[in-house]
Amino acid sequence: MNIMKLKIVILLEKYKKVTDVAAELGLKQPTVSFHMKNLENEFGTPLFLYRSGRVLLTDAGRALYQYALKIVSLTAEAERTVKQFSSPSQGTLKLEASYIPATYILPKGLIQFMKQYPGINNSITIQSDTLLRERLRSRDIQMAILHTADWHDESFNFQIIVRDEPVLIFAPGHPFETIEKLTPEQIALEPWIQYEVGSCLRGFADQWAELNHFRLWNRSELNSPETLKKLVSGGDGVGICSRVSIEAELELGRLSYAPLPGILPESGGFVLAWRKDHILTPLQQSFAQILSNL
């Protein structure tokens, strides 16, 4: 079994015709048919059904198709990665980050990287921290920028970009502005605008409430830092935000904040993470160096 045979399986699922597959791959139709027959002989089971001029995958063929997608994708990724060692000024830097670092940390580093490597393409995807960890473990991605307080995952290498400083936010004019020293009990009485379960700041807020022996009144839950800030600034609720994410609102007078009182859990930070069995490419090493100097 080779990559060409797996590409044929993938394209047959797409086109359903041998002629279209042959045209896509630049092969002759008999060559494609030969590879199809050879593949069935290798596995010892039918992989293709022929119906009214169309080629369909059998159950065994569909099972192979799922692996073919991954193998072909990984092969292409391996080729791109190895080529970067001989041509570090060419290629694509693929990045995935969770919401807060993608909005408030990543742009600074990416601007510097783009100036240093003008010929490099960049691909940026924003996901939740939970999904990013899953994608790292399953090798769907090579590295990610996380917002986390969990430094104990032995599967990953972590490079700290900057420590987080969670603070309590509320609207200008809120009664909390006149209180010099807030107590956890006062804050617990307020309606809360919370991040979604599984996010770093939601975990911090829930741990903080537990350590100080009270429950939070959660009015709203969401996964957008911008929406959370707008809900807090325009209403009577409070929330927890990273200090780095509210600089603009503080300067414009749209939000006020206070340090959280009581017993505080580990605040975590923004980190670059990659699997311990992954060797960073020259481009990834350069980007990691830029992030370490932010």
Instruction: Give yes or no on whether 89-163+269-292 and 166-258 have one common fold.
Output: yes
Task: Give the CATH number of domain 89-163+269-292.
Answer: 3.40.190.10
Q: What is the pLDDT of residues 148-182, one digit of tens each?
A: 988 778 889 999 999 999 999 999 999 999 999 99
Q: Give me the mean pLDDT over the 131-136 stretch.
A: 92
Task: Give the CATH number of domain 3-85.
Answer: 1.10.10.10
Domain range summary for the chain, segments of one domain joined by +: 3-85, 89-163+269-292, 166-258
Class of domain 166-258 as given by CATH: alpha beta
64-78 exposure pattern, b = at least 16 Cβ within 10 A, e = fewer: bbeebeebbeeeeee
Name beta bridge partners: 144.
273
Alpha-carbon torsion 105, 111, 112, 113, what sign? Answer: positive
Poorest-pLDDT segment among 5-19, 85-99, 168-182, 187-201: 85-99
- Strands 191-195 and 217-222 come out as parallel
How many CB atoms are closer than 10 A to CB 3? Answer: 12
Residue 127: which residues within 8 A CB-CB, separation 6 or more? 96, 97, 98, 135, 144
Poorest-pLDDT segment among 17-31, 86-100, 141-155, 248-262: 86-100
Name the 3-class secondary structure at 23.
helix
- Return mean pLDDT, the chain: 91
CA distances from 256 to 52, 66, 232, 253 (A): 69, 51, 10, 7
Q: What is the pLDDT of residues 206-246, one digit of tens each?
A: 999 999 998 888 888 988 899 999 999 998 899 999 999 99
Q: What is the pLDDT of residues 246-290, one digit of tens each?
A: 999 999 999 999 999 999 998 889 999 999 988 888 889 999 999
d(CA 225, CA 128): 12
